[in-house]
A and B are shown apart, each in its own frame.
Chain A
Amino acid sequence: MQKATIYVTLKPQVLDPQGKVIMNALHTLGYKNVTEVRASKMFEVTLDAKDDADIKQEIEEICDKVLANPNIETYYYKIHDE
């Protein structure tokens, strides 16, 4: 079994109001060093496959088709052994 940790993040040019609200809250709490917060999604996907190249191809297909919306999001991932 292998586990993929997939991060789906908003493209830089896409406004992230949620991140902005979190940043404002952090400022209110006194964390003045914080200059930007971007919220993103993280998925843990477990795969029953052995070949690394196959897994990569499958994950990228899953991201392109389902997990990320290419209009607004990009993704990256890490694969670990279970």
Chain B
Amino acid sequence: MKYNIIIFPGSNCDYDAYFVTKNLMGAEVEYVWHKDTSLKYPDCVIIPGGFSYGDYLRAGAIAKFSPIMKEVIAFANKGGLVLGICNGFQVLTETKLLPGTLLQNKSLLFICKHQYVKVVNNKTPYTHIIEKNQVLDIPIAHNEGNFFIDEDGLKSLQDDQQIVFQYCDKEGHIDDITNPNGSMLNIAGIVNKQGNVLGMMPHPERSSDPICGSKDGQNIFLSIMEFIEK
């Protein structure tokens, strides 16, 4: 299978994603510069974490106008897998491939730590090899991770099982205490209605190599690989 990793000025998790998908997963991977006007025949596009365009205006707001995003949107609309991690999630909400918005953390602080998340939907290409309600240790590192959506939008996310990951503790409790950033319903990751576009604030690429202290992030990449190769 083949990944394309999009690089914007300010992306900084591009190599982490490259290392994991290529060296640990053995997939074919190509970088795609944001000014390019075509993708390189991917099975899955990754929009990595970082600070695209310095987070100017709003996180992800300028990246959505990069030439390559037209292609990413077209790829997603044809059912292609698009995974946005952290800043990538912010870019996906700004481009409207995913609903909602990532606001500044409630604490106003940049948060960088290991975090437990519960897999509440394992019927997606990104989570199908994981047990439902399994708790994963996947780190977060963000200033704008506080997921917000209006009431109707939240209801629609729930009705259509679009919530994939929720912040929790090691035992899987989901409440205000285990909510690191103020996200509605502790939301850490969602998919679009069709299930082919996933945005998540936690960084699976930073928890795939065991040297990082957790290899739980591998589950996401193994799911993608099995989904594509089956």
Contacts and interface: CB of A to CB of B under 8 A. Distances in A.
A14 B99 CA distance: 16
A72 B58 CA distance: 11
B57 interface: yes
Interface of A: 13-15, 17-18, 21, 66-67, 69, 71-72
A72 B57 CA distance: 14
Which secondary structure characterizes the binding site on chain A? loop
A1 to B, nearest CB: 23
Given A69-B61, A71-B93, A71-B153, 14 more contacts: A13-B150, A14-B103, A15-B148, A17-B104, A17-B105, A17-B106, A17-B107, A17-B182, A66-B57, A67-B57, A71-B100, A71-B149, A71-B150, A72-B148
19 contacts: A14-B103, A14-B148, A15-B103, A15-B148, A15-B182, A17-B107, A17-B108, A17-B182, A18-B108, A66-B65, A67-B57, A69-B61, A69-B101, A71-B148, A71-B149, A71-B153, A72-B101, A72-B103, A72-B148
A25 to B, nearest CB: 12
A21 B108 CA distance: 9
Contacts of B94: 69
Interface in B90-129: 93-94, 99-101, 103-108
Contacts of A15: 103, 106, 148, 182
A72 B101 CA distance: 7
Nearest to A18: B108
Contacts of B106: 15, 17
A28 to B, nearest CB: 16
Contacts of B107: 17
Interface in B143-200: 148-150, 153, 182
Given A66-B61, A69-B58, A69-B94, A18 B104 contact: yes
A13 B154 CA distance: 14
B176 to A, nearest CB: 14
Contacts of A13: 150
Contacts of B93: 71
Contacts of A14: 103, 148
Contacts of A72: 101, 103, 148
B142 to A, nearest CB: 14
B106 to A, nearest CB: 5
A67 to B, nearest CB: 7
Given A17-B106, A17-B107, A66-B57, A71 B101 contact: yes
A57 to B, nearest CB: 20
B143 to A, nearest CB: 12
